[in-house]
Structure 1
Amino acid sequence: MTSGTSEAPAWHSVALAELDRILQSRFLRESKQLCALLSHAVHETLAGREDGLKEYILGLQVFNRPPDYDPRNDAIVRVQASLLRKRLADYYEHEGRDSVLRIELPRGGYTARFVPAKNAALGVEPAVLPQAEDLPVQQLGGGRYWPALLTGMALGALLVTLVALWLNRDRWPRKPASAALWGAVIDSKAETVVSFGVPLFFAGGSGFFVRDTAVNTIFEDTRRVKHLGDVLGYTFRPQEDVYTGIGDAIGTHHVANWLQDRGVQTTVANSNYLGLSDIENKNLVVVSSARFQTLLQQLQRPNVFPFDPGNDGPGSGFAVLNPLPGELPFYRPTGTVGVNTSYAVVSLWPGRQPNTRILYLSGIETWATQGAANYSIDTDRLTDLQRRIDQDPPNGPRGKKGPYFQVLIRVEGKNNRVRTSSYVTHRYLPAN
């Protein structure tokens, strides 16, 4: 428990200052519920009222649930606490990496924990850091109580060790799994627009729509659509914003949620309604099947894995310019009954303004596009990609190493549903 004296320990002011910084950070400031939960947990813990930090009580006091609220049927507290833990981890990986005191919400409970950070012994008076007897204690099995931190002597040894670690901080593995692909987006204070592609349909009236996958702009050959209209007695006219691919929609949803979980201010938009002014000083993520027309065609970014719709050849797919040994010059979908292999490309380009990025997640089919989205937010896949990029030489066969690149991935599916996404190859892109 906290000290029984009327005057709060000096380290409480450090904890409250750290709480204010977290609440004002980009990781929490947009979420009133997470701010309320963290603030309540910290203040109640500092006041020694840990007994009130129970799921049912939090549901009533923080999330305004009625008295008959049943936590077994309403998981609001558990869900928000889980999300809060993720946001705190992201905060201390970025904005809060130099904080002298870390605020944590350990799993299995809702009592806040206060931990001196790695640089706590540098330029900070020990008197303002929590001592073992001042910190909240956690109840363990058998009803016994143990200090949340070591005793004063052990804490001193711990701080000595942390000083040594700090002095060797250049050796720390600071790169998160997502650094190469998402680092600039997550670290940026810019808003991120996540947009989904929309295919071109033709409307014949009375709710009758036709889609020709070989026609994606009004300037392309529409003779097949016209012939079908003549046969059926309909006059088909171009009609946008009717439907989009299921994979595009699911992929957009997953990516937007993933970014929001990491404190990125995110909006979702229809790519047909986006203009250059809409992405001014913003990051842009486009989740769109390769056939669909988006703002990216206007931006004309470099592309070493160009898409061929296959209108005049053996089928659609991605070409590989200057393939390396073991690589194919062209990657096309294959499959048997119910089981399919397709391909997608993840592209990272510079944005329109400094310190912004454009990310394009694009598959041959809509389900392959979802596979690209899944790949881009999967921790294991991102770790593997980061390892490959870290191992590349400064100027090797995949191009001059830089922050912009494209990744060709293989997507395995069954009945048009994604099963796995895996790496095929990658190339570096010029900055402009």
Structure 2
Amino acid sequence: MLENFDEGIPQKIINSKSFGKSKTYSNLLLYLVDCSKTGNIPKETTIASDIFGKSTFDPGESTLIRVYLYNLRKKIADYYKNEGKNDEMVLEIPKGGYEVHFVKRQPKKVEQAKKYYRLSLILLALLASSVILNIWGWRQQDTAVKPSGTIPGKSLWVDILDDDIPALVVLGDLFVYNEFDPNLNMHRTIRDPLINSAKEFENFINQHPEMVERTNDLSYAFLIRNSAAWIKSLTRLFLADDKNFNIRVMSRFNPKELQDHNIVVVGMLKTFGLFINYFNHSKFKLTSDSTIEYYDEKVQQLKSYSSIGNADSYHTDYGLAAKIPGPNNNVIFMFGGLWDTAASQSLKNFTDPLLSQQLEQEMKNELGEVPQYFEVLFEVSGIDRMELNTKILHLHKVSATPNVWDPK
């Protein structure tokens, strides 16, 4: 049961400028207050059902409720920093639970005394640790990687870096399956470039029923060798802005996560899984034979782009970078290539300080601004994935309407 309950406090917070005008967060706060009044503290599944209408909800699969509670606590904290800074009674939702508390604010003198005491302890701790840190830093200065606090090209990433929604990086991985070879009397792990998902493997078996007894899918997949470089680039970018992120491989990506995160997808386009639906609403089309098609309205001509050459020597590849709205006021960033060469270079154009600045300028020259959402087609050429040259072929502003995730 709530102690020191004041009926007017929740409504006062909801009506404040700091809280904003979100009906969802207002309903969530009033719901938690009502539950706390009766001592019936809800679980995540109950909140998901009562507030968001999700009859089936698995907290282990989705962080939706935790994200909303994180943002709700932040809104309440903003209120007490501004309009409610002189309120005698404070509404709190302690971390780790969903019970609302009403707490009397301590007198300023007591608060200040505690503040000075805590500050003294912090200063002593900093003084004691500074010597250790200086010695450690001196020893490590030749090898340490220090992310820059200034991020050139940050406007390209601002929606993800400055958002409270958790960030998730999804890496396109390669599907493999097990096959028994009767001639060699042994099992082999097979990577078929025409089979890139469990669904395509199922179609393959349906078309070749004689393979049913000889093959089976596996519980693991293979990462593309450039995956380490992709994670390194994104780690530098995120750490420079004090932003954490999680990592998934596409074969283990749960579609439920699509609504709960800002997402960065990197990989060959054929490994994009459900994100391949993007092409249903793009000006670019991806054909079944790994060709990107584009109808150029300026010259009234359909253009086709396919990788040329040997990936281990001189070759030309094509890559796509797209930033689009997600289905739940989140952001989806995609970096893909017909081969991994263009996937890597597409990402590098957005994470390398110099290249990202040049890209921002190209957008301003072509579109008059750096739009919130866009899509870019790159031509990438070079030798053995090194010494790569990049050329922007087509650049478009994308509508803010999140219809990408609607069936066409």
For Structure 1 versus Structure 2, the TM-score category normalised by the shorter chain is 0.5 to 0.7
> Is it true that 1:222 corresponds to 2:204 in the alignment?
yes
| Equivalence for 1:353 | 328
1:237 Cα deviation from its structure 2 partner: 1.9
Distance 1:278 1:224 in 2: 30
> Is it true that 1:329 corresponds to 2:329 in the alignment?
no
| Equivalence for 2:169 | 194
| Count of residues paired in the alignment | 272
1:338 Cα deviation from its structure 2 partner: 1.5
| Equivalence for 2:377 | 408
> Is it true that 1:79 corresponds to 2:144 in the alignment?
yes
> Is it true that 1:340 corresponds to 2:315 in the alignment?
yes
Q: Which amino acid aligns with 2:162?
A: D
CA contact (8 A) 1:193 1:285 kept: yes
Distance 1:300 1:339 in 2: 28
CA contact (8 A) 1:406 1:428 kept: yes
- Give the alignment's TM-score, normalised by structure 2: 0.56
| Equivalence for 1:212 | 192
Distance 1:326 1:261 in 2: 44
Structure 2 gaps of 5+ residues are 1-118, 181-185, 402-408
CA contact (8 A) 1:302 1:430 kept: no
Cα deviation, 1:209-267, whole Å, max 9, x if unaligned, reads 1122122234445279959969xxx8122335321211244223322332222222211
Give me the CA root mean square deviation.
3.9
Distance 1:258 1:75 in 2: 21
Match of 2:388 among 391, 395, 419: 419
1:321 Cα deviation from its structure 2 partner: 3.1
Distance 2:274 2:134 in 1: 41
| Equivalence for 2:285 | 306
SS at match of 1:246: coil
Decide whether aligned partners of structure 1 residues 402 and 367 sit closer, same or farther in structure 2, where only a CA change above 3 A counts. closer
SS at match of 1:320: strand
| Equivalence for 2:269 | 290
Decide whether aligned partners of structure 1 residues 213 and 419 sit closer, same or farther in structure 2, where only a CA change above 3 A counts. same
CA contact (8 A) 1:345 1:406 kept: yes
1:177 Cα deviation from its structure 2 partner: 2.5
SS at match of 1:352: coil
| Equivalence for 2:153 | 177
- Give the alignment's TM-score, normalised by structure 1: 0.53
1:422 Cα deviation from its structure 2 partner: 3.4
Q: Percent identity?
A: 14
Decide whether aligned partners of structure 1 residues 326 and 76 sit closer, same or farther in structure 2, where only a CA change above 3 A counts. farther
SS at match of 2:295: coil
| Equivalence for 2:253 | 274
Stretch of structure 1 that moved more, 409-418 or 356-365: 409-418
Q: Which amino acid aligns with 1:212?
A: D
1:187 Cα deviation from its structure 2 partner: 2.1
Structure 1 gaps of 5+ residues are 1-38, 91-175, 311-315, 395-399
1:297 Cα deviation from its structure 2 partner: 4.1
1:416 Cα deviation from its structure 2 partner: 4.3
Q: Which amino acid aligns with 2:144?
A: V
1:401 Cα deviation from its structure 2 partner: 9.1
